[in-house]
Amino acid sequence: MAVKPMTSKEVAKKVMNKEPFFILDVRNEGDFADWKIEGENFDYFNIPYFELLDGVEVIMDKIPTDKEVLVVCAKEGSSVMIAEFLSEAGLSVSYLVGGMKAWSEHLEPINIGNLKDGGEIYQFVRLGKGCLSYMVVSNGEAAIIDSTRMTNVYIDFANSINAKITHVFDTHLHADHISGGRVIAEMTHATYWLPPKDAAEVTFEYRALEDGTEVTIGTTAINIHALYSPGHTIGSTTFVVDDQYLLSGDTLFIDSIGRPDLAGLAEDWVADLRESLYKRYRELSEELVVLPAHFMILEELNEDGSVAEKLGTLFAKNHGLNIEDEEVFRKLVTENLPPQPNAYQEIRETNMGKINPDEEKQREMEIGPNRCAVR
């Protein structure tokens, strides 16, 4: 039987279409337990590849014959070997091209909607890590918000739609992934905006993003309006785009809210987080479509694979927006928090420009889920 390569893009389709699928993950048990390819109708079996060097007979009864089977490892090599063993044993299977490394870096662009004066807003879904970034396009100009370090994806995409990148933003100093903002700005001569309160220690030039900052993209007035919303970090800023979209960064997610401890000051920032979510957001139109910087679970994805919901719906359904008692709220966001993202301190220092790890090291730092929320 033949062994077929399968790309992250093909796997992403299966996740979004909720297809039944079987994953044989041959990484170490700890790595699998920590982080895997999530799919609503996916089944899994995990056994490290080195347990199978003498043959795959021991797992033949674990592999279904009525479903597509994908062998997955960290970087590809071991999955090819195991897929070949299975093929020799008579099964038809695929391996994941580039392994979990490629899966973690795959971005799926989705058109979220049109802007009033022409133009579009795109969401780039990083399924492997739950990161969401955005491109606002109008009249041949593009702005990028919360970009990942896969800078070429945005630059190529902008080229493909004949848009010039003129502004790059980060809603806050990220702790779970390495921002591509500075690199994109340098490569395209765009302006790089950061909230100054998160940027106190950065080692490079940036434009200060203050409450009320207005930036126009294109010749038509597609305003990106900044709204100061501290709590997840002290500088966290939300954008209102075209009076239609609320880019909430890591302050508000679909099914959860931002955690205030990743920059080390949970107790100090509880009150800020509460004020941002319970007062500043309450003053906004409930018709705004919330576009966050992360999702945590697949249930947060819409039918088309996008992550977006009206603010009014979140006020009704998001538990984190419905805790009346301030003490209960304080406890939720400061006690029993989930583990912190992998290498989050080093990631913050990289985003400040203090350290400059090479690409392989950056990849390693970003391994695993994002863990930016409390629920």
Partner 1 sequence: MEATKVVDAKGLACPMPIVKTKKAMNELETGQVLEIHATDKGAKNDLAAWAKSGGHELMKHEEESDVLKFWIKKG
- Residue 59 Cβ vs partner 1, minimum distance, rounded to whole Å: 15
Residue 75 within binding range of partner 1, rule CB under 8 A: yes
Phi, psi of 258, rounded to the nearest 5 degrees: -65, 150
Neighbours of 74 (CB within 10 A): 18
Residue 359 within binding range of partner 1, rule CB under 8 A: no
- The nearer residue to partner 1, 27 or 174, going by C-beta atoms, is 27
Site for partner 1 in 14-33 (CB under 8 A): 28-31
What is the Cα–Cα distance from 154 to 131, expressed in whole angstroms? 14
Residue 2 within binding range of partner 1, rule CB under 8 A: no
Residue 315 gets which letter from DSSP?
H
Distant-in-sequence, close-in-space partners of 335: CB < 8 Å, separation ≥ 6? none
Site for partner 1 in 38-57 (CB under 8 A): 48-51, 53
Residue 223 within binding range of partner 1, rule CB under 8 A: no
- Residue 122 Cβ vs partner 1, minimum distance, rounded to whole Å: 34
DSSP per-residue letters across 242-293: TTTEEEEETTB-SS-EE-STTTT-HHHHHHHHHHIIIIITTTS-TTSEEEES
Of the listed pieces 72-80, 88-96, 108-116, 218-226, which binds partner 1 according to CB under 8 A?
72-80
Q: Which of 73, 121, 266, 273 binds partner 1 (CB under 8 A)?
A: 73
- The nearer residue to partner 1, 78 or 94, going by C-beta atoms, is 78
- The nearer residue to partner 1, 77 or 264, going by C-beta atoms, is 77
Q: Looking at the DSSP assignment, which residues form a beta bridge with residue 208?
A: 194
Strand order, beta sheet including 222-228: 214-217, 222-228, 237-241, 245-249, 289-292, 309-310
- Residue 106 Cβ vs partner 1, minimum distance, rounded to whole Å: 20
Residue 87 within binding range of partner 1, rule CB under 8 A: no
**Contact string 247-266 vs partner 1 (x = CB under 8 A):** --------------------
Catalytic residue among 12, 73, 86, 184: 73
Residue 335 within binding range of partner 1, rule CB under 8 A: no
Token output for 156: 């190529």
CA dihedral for 3, 5, 8, 10, sign (positive or negative): negative
Residue 60 within binding range of partner 1, rule CB under 8 A: no
- The nearer residue to partner 1, 265 or 355, going by C-beta atoms, is 355
Phi, psi of 99, rounded to the nearest 5 degrees: 65, -160
- The nearer residue to partner 1, 49 or 239, going by C-beta atoms, is 49
User: Looking at 47-184, which runs of residues are DSSP E strands?
Assistant: 69-72, 93-96, 108-114, 120-126, 131-138, 141-145, 164-169
- Residue 32 Cβ vs partner 1, minimum distance, rounded to whole Å: 12
- The nearer residue to partner 1, 5 or 48, going by C-beta atoms, is 48
Nearest Cα to Cα of residue 238 among 195, 201, 268: 195
DSSP per-residue letters across 22-38: EEEE-S-HHHHHH----
73 is catalytic: yes
- Residue 53 Cβ vs partner 1, minimum distance, rounded to whole Å: 6
Q: Which of 38, 68, 120, 364 binds partner 1 (CB under 8 A)?
A: 364
Residue 74 within binding range of partner 1, rule CB under 8 A: yes
Q: Which of 15, 37, 78, 107 binds partner 1 (CB under 8 A)?
A: 78
Q: Are 26 and 73 in contact (CB under 8 A)?
A: yes
Query: Which H or E element spans position 214?
Result: strand 214-217
- Residue 13 Cβ vs partner 1, minimum distance, rounded to whole Å: 27
**Contact string 107-146 vs partner 1 (x = CB under 8 A):** ----------------------------------------
Nearest Cα to Cα of residue 302 among 12, 17, 10, 14: 17
- The 3-state DSSP class for residue 3 equals strand
- The nearer residue to partner 1, 30 or 90, going by C-beta atoms, is 30
What is the Cα–Cα distance from 368 to 37, expressed in whole angstroms? 11
The residues annotated with a catalytic role in the active site are 73
Residues of this chain that bind partner 1 (CB under 8 A): 28-31, 48-51, 53, 73-75, 77-78, 81, 360, 364
